[in-house]
Amino acid sequence: MQGLRQFKRSLDLNKYYFIVLPLVIFDLLSKFLAKQFLIKDYFILNKQVGLELTYNTGIAWGFFSGHARYTLILSLGVLIWLIREITINNESESTFPLYLILSGALGNIIERTYGLLIGNNGKVTDFFVLGPIPNFNIADALISIGLAYLIYTELRSVTK
């Protein structure tokens, strides 16, 4: 029981809700709006940048496509790891990028779980087009930005 109390004290839930919850809501709302209103594709710069509604059952870059149940299990494992890392690194410089990654992971996990429950094979909505990068969504962007920022903070701490 004492371990649970220590875990609760080490995890700043106010910061968690203040950062993660709005980002997850923004991601889920953007996916809902894309499915409702993105009837045709919109491109600029010779079809290199734009909006195009697609669906993905895999994870980053389409890996494990067609295996949504496995990607959900993998994502839940990453989610547990993220919460553990946030708990351990509370108030360190690497906490903020972990919150970004957590927000993106939660957004995609919620949509994938809902998709599996309603029978759409756990598809995640993607709609941003940026050059040769596979279509992505807000959650994917949060994960990518968080990872880049985490790598930056780790490299910066090594050089100090």
Catalytic residue among 12, 27, 41, 140: 140
Confirm whether 12 is a catalytic residue: no
140 is catalytic: yes
C-alpha 86/C-alpha 80 separation (Å) is: 10
The catalytic residue among 12, 27, 41, 126 is 126
SS3 at position 50 = strand
Sign (positive or negative) of CA dihedral 104, 108, 111, 76:
negative
- List residues with catalytic annotation: 126, 140
